[in-house]
Amino acid sequence: MASIGKIARRTFLIGSAALVGGVAFGAYYVARPAPNPLTAPEGGATLNPFMMIDANGITLIAPRAEMGQGVHTTWAALIAEELDVDLDQVRVLHGPPAQAYYNSAMLGEALPGKGYDRSDFAHALAEQVGRIGKVMDMQVTGGSTSMPDGFERMRATGASARETLKQAAANRLGVDRAQLKTERGEVVAPDGTRIPYADLAVDAGKLDPVDAPLRPPAQWRILGKTQPRIDMVAKVTGTARFGIDTRVPGVKFAALRMNPHLGGRMIGFDDSAARAMPGVDRLVNLGDGLAVIASNTWLAMQAAEAVRIDWAPSPNPADTDAVFDRIAAALDGEANSTLRDDGDTSALPLGASEVTAEYQVPYLAHATMEPMSATALYSGIKLEVWSGNQAPLLVQKACAEAVGLEPEAVELHTTYMGGGFGRRAEVDFSVYAARVAKELPDTPIQLTWSREEDMRHDYYRPGAMARFRGGVKDGTAVFLDGQIAAQSATQQAMARWLGLPAAGPDKGTVDGAFNQPYAIPNFRIRGYLADLDIPVGFWRSVGSSMNGFLFDCFIDEMAHAAKVDPLKFRLQLAADEHAPSAKVLEAVRDMSGWTCQTPAGIGRGVGFCYSFGVPTATVIEVTDAGGPIRMTRAWIAADVGTALDPGNLEAQFTGAMIYGLSAACFGEITFAEGAVEQFNFPDYDALRIHNTPVTEVKILENQEHVTGAGEPGTPPAMAALANALYDLTGTRARQLPLMHDFDLLT
């Protein structure tokens, strides 16, 4: 990661006005090019914001956070495909904070359209809103948007660079560009002369970029085939540097202790014992908590624990019941959104049988394997920050504000992330490191949160409640009226990140419910926002993480009320509405040999959710062989439109399912005295190797758009498990986690 530091340093010293050798190739902007944040290396060129070529070879900049989802490898593959280089010829680095790297797909995804129903109007609107991303500093990784965002522009970047390098060679050789070919990072002339790209980079940087059409998938060499991940060797040798592994010469280590009563301040403290402890350098008062700087992280943590602190109480409701009373109260209030309102939901159709149910899901922590950590070095006029984060521009701005500098004076290095799942889109851990570093100028400070601090100071997945009223008739659903209430993570995050006022219908609360591709003639989904200030944020699959369970389990209840095979019930509803969704249900039926008949001691359930443009169906099999219930097998079918890396897709869907099943079985954040009651993995456990089912994944490509894959595997997993437990035991789970109602293998 060393060289990105040099790039960023030059960039910030020179400023964005100087674009030495920086030429913008057509496709990386939408309306107007943002400044290229890269400056040319000596004897080389930065042909566009995504690529540098110099004597050391080709460096690709992936301004999306690598947190395990494989985005570095696939973004590199998109460029390499058109550039005619092999993946082993390129290095990939995280990009510096820059508007050129904004996420055009993120805001399009935030629009309240159903998604699967992509009319021209909805598409145009999404494009327009996508442009706002640049203005809004949305260099954010999330929402499974990296592939929709990068698919066209990364290939166009590679194609344009290739043709421009060829033009530089054509000028040098005095031949026509059309006579030249490219191969493995070299331009090849008709007489066999080969010129490496590195030799052409400076010349190419002086030319106007050449536009080039994209190659059809039939000609792809790299895309569509499983690629070895470019970060794999580093990650199996312990040499990959995560944020917590940053080692700057002279670094001191700090620990954090914040008010567990969320939102409360610190009234006073006695640090006399802590200051006398070994290795302790100093204490920093942060207002709502404190940090201890020491010679070793563990010594810092011990000293932080030894401080006697008088905490102010939390302004939030005291306990879990009081929190859910507020959410229930929201359900009785005015709706924030009615994003689906088909037919007549004023009364049940004549002759329909009524089904009603209420559901509840808890708050959840992200619990990334790497606890929050960041390193900062403050010099009075400059701040340098090392942080594994999903939103570099936001982090840069927030850190600048926290120490009283301009954003340009903050140099941010984005490192590998030990899991993100949405947690690292937040700026808090970087800002605390910056604030602590300001207290000890010219000394790099690494601030690491203990697992307990991490667990108890998250931006949680909101808890939610839902009421459903359904009607079934002649073996199908004819009526569905759903109400879902939760805190709005979107509104809270927009206020926190961008200072935007909360307004309008919140898609996040009802995502994964209102936009399900089911032809139910009388179909309404209303969202309600709970008036609570518990810190909430984006958790893998966001709103669909709640609704994938709530909504799909209720569909299962309706199927049973209609006395129809629950898979067939969903299939009939999807068939007329969205063919790709029907096809994933058929695929999972065929893979699992679904018969709707299970022998004694075995249960099977299906779950379905359309999220992030991906219809995903999951079947889970559970077995009761006289001990705790085991999950024995799982099958997943998903339609990603274009499968860019099948091996990575299999890993993402499997991992996303396990993340969902972990939460479904064991995940809950509860409150007492306004503080989170869970501390660490013993009371916030997840699946482990022995209770993970054997899993098969099938990727379909019937949709026309390219999609991401980090999230859509999570929502249907939770429902499939609950539906399987119903099949096994006859007990319908309407609350998570399932460990409270079932004897699950732990």
Partner 1 sequence: MPVSLTVNGTRHSVDLPEDVPLLWVLRDELGLTGTKYGCGVAACGACTVQIDGEAVRSCQIALGDVAGAVTTIEGVGTPDALSAIQQAWAAHQVAQCGYCQSGQIMQAAALLAQTPAPSDEEIDEAMQGNLCRCGTYPRIRAAIHSAAQMMKEA
What is the token pair recorded at 121? 């109007």
Nearer to partner 1, 84 or 245 (CB): 245
Nearer to partner 1, 562 or 657 (CB): 657
6 touches partner 1 by CB under 8 A: no
682 touches partner 1 by CB under 8 A: yes
For partner 1, which residue of 18, 132, 234, 498 counts as binding (CB under 8 A)?
234
What is the token pair recorded at 23? 């030429």
Nearer to partner 1, 21 or 713 (CB): 713
For partner 1, which residue of 279, 349, 521, 646 counts as binding (CB under 8 A)?
279
Shortest spacing between CB 435 and partner 1, in angstroms:
21
For partner 1, which residue of 15, 43, 190, 278 counts as binding (CB under 8 A)?
278
Phi-psi region of 333 (alpha: psi -120 to 50; beta: other; left: phi over 0): beta
Shortest spacing between CB 498 and partner 1, in angstroms:
27
Nearer to partner 1, 155 or 423 (CB): 423
| Alpha-carbon distance values, 28 to 16, 24, 99, 147, 203 (Å) | 17, 8, 11, 14, 21
680 touches partner 1 by CB under 8 A: yes
Please, what's the b/e burial string for 552-582 (b: 16 or more CB within 10 A of its CB; e: otherwise)?
A: bbbbbbbbbbbebbbbbbbbbbbbebbebbb
Residues numbered 388 to 417 that lie near partner 1 (CB under 8 A) are: 416-417
Pick from 220, 189, 180, 218: nearest CA to 81: 220
Interface map 440-469 toward partner 1 (x if CB under 8 A): --------x-xx------------------
528 touches partner 1 by CB under 8 A: no
Selected range binding partner 1 among 120-128, 186-194, 235-243, 456-464, rule: CB under 8 A:
235-243
For partner 1, which residue of 272, 694, 731, 740 counts as binding (CB under 8 A)?
694
Shortest spacing between CB 418 and partner 1, in angstroms:
3
242 touches partner 1 by CB under 8 A: yes
368 touches partner 1 by CB under 8 A: yes
Collapse the DSSP code of 577 into the 3-class scheme (helix H, G, I; strand E, B; otherwise coil) and give the result: coil
Residues numbered 585 to 604 that lie near partner 1 (CB under 8 A) are: none
Cα separation, 196 vs 283, whole angstroms: 55
Q: Residue 511 pairs with which residues in a beta bridge?
A: none
Collapse the DSSP code of 252 into the 3-class scheme (helix H, G, I; strand E, B; otherwise coil) and give the result: strand
How many binding residues for partner 1 (CB under 8 A)?
A: 67
For partner 1, which residue of 298, 322, 590, 731 counts as binding (CB under 8 A)?
298
DSSP state of 629: B
Nearer to partner 1, 98 or 147 (CB): 147
Cβ contact 42:54 at 8 Å: yes
Question: Which residue type does 152 have?
Answer: E
Task: Give a three-class secondary structure readout of 343-408.
Answer: CCCCCCCCCCEEEEEEEEECEECCCCCCCCEEEEEECCCCEEEEECCCCHHHHHHHHHHHHCCCHH
Residues numbered 188 to 227 that lie near partner 1 (CB under 8 A) are: 226
296 touches partner 1 by CB under 8 A: yes
Q: Which helix (H) or strand (E) holds 258?
A: strand 252-258
CA–chain centroid gap for 587, Å, is 26
2 touches partner 1 by CB under 8 A: no
Shortest spacing between CB 13 and partner 1, in angstroms:
29
Maximum Cα interatomic distance, the chain, rounded to a whole number of Å: 82
DSSP state of 36: P
Shortest spacing between CB 695 and partner 1, in angstroms:
6
DSSP string covering 476-532: EEEEEEEEEEE--HHHHHHHHHH-PPP-S--HHHHTTTTT-----SEEEEEEEE---
What is the token pair recorded at 57? 């070879």
Helix, strand, coil percent values for the chain (each to nearest 5): 35, 25, 40
For partner 1, which residue of 659, 666, 671, 726 counts as binding (CB under 8 A)?
659
Provide the 10 A C-beta neighbour count for residue 135: 9
For partner 1, which residue of 631, 657, 722, 738 counts as binding (CB under 8 A)?
657
293 touches partner 1 by CB under 8 A: no
Cβ contact 506:336 at 8 Å: yes
475 touches partner 1 by CB under 8 A: no
Shortest spacing between CB 246 and partner 1, in angstroms:
9
Nearer to partner 1, 182 or 415 (CB): 415
Spatial neighbors of 669 by CB under 8 A, at least 6 apart, are 362, 363, 364, 365, 458, 460, 676, 677, 678, 684
Residues numbered 9 to 68 that lie near partner 1 (CB under 8 A) are: 67-68
Nearer to partner 1, 239 or 346 (CB): 239
Shortest spacing between CB 690 and partner 1, in angstroms:
4
Selected range binding partner 1 among 215-223, 335-343, 365-373, 479-487, rule: CB under 8 A:
365-373
143 touches partner 1 by CB under 8 A: no
256 touches partner 1 by CB under 8 A: no
Nearer to partner 1, 219 or 237 (CB): 237
For partner 1, which residue of 687, 718, 728, 738 counts as binding (CB under 8 A)?
687
Selected range binding partner 1 among 161-169, 204-212, 232-240, 577-585, rule: CB under 8 A:
232-240
Q: Which helix (H) or strand (E) holds 60?
A: strand 57-62
369 touches partner 1 by CB under 8 A: yes
Residues numbered 616 to 655 that lie near partner 1 (CB under 8 A) are: 647-648, 651-652, 654-655
Selected range binding partner 1 among 45-53, 158-166, 682-690, 719-727, rule: CB under 8 A:
682-690
Nearer to partner 1, 164 or 373 (CB): 373
Spatial neighbors of 730 by CB under 8 A, at least 6 apart, are none
For partner 1, which residue of 121, 178, 237, 600 counts as binding (CB under 8 A)?
237
Cβ contact 740:625 at 8 Å: no
658 touches partner 1 by CB under 8 A: yes
Spatial neighbors of 276 by CB under 8 A, at least 6 apart, are none
What is the token pair recorded at 212? 């080039």
681 touches partner 1 by CB under 8 A: yes
Nearer to partner 1, 261 or 540 (CB): 540
| Alpha-carbon distance values, 680 to 158, 214, 686 (Å) | 45, 49, 11
241 touches partner 1 by CB under 8 A: yes
Cβ contact 359:466 at 8 Å: yes
367 touches partner 1 by CB under 8 A: yes
Cα separation, 26 vs 123, whole angstroms: 21
Pick from 496, 478, 181, 538: nearest CA to 352: 478
69 touches partner 1 by CB under 8 A: yes
Shortest spacing between CB 384 and partner 1, in angstroms:
19
Shortest spacing between CB 506 and partner 1, in angstroms:
28
Q: Which residues bind partner 1 (CB under 8 A)?
A: 67-70, 226, 228-229, 231-242, 244-245, 247, 253, 278-279, 295-299, 301, 367-371, 416-421, 448, 450-451, 647-648, 651-652, 654-659, 662, 680-682, 686-690, 692, 694-695
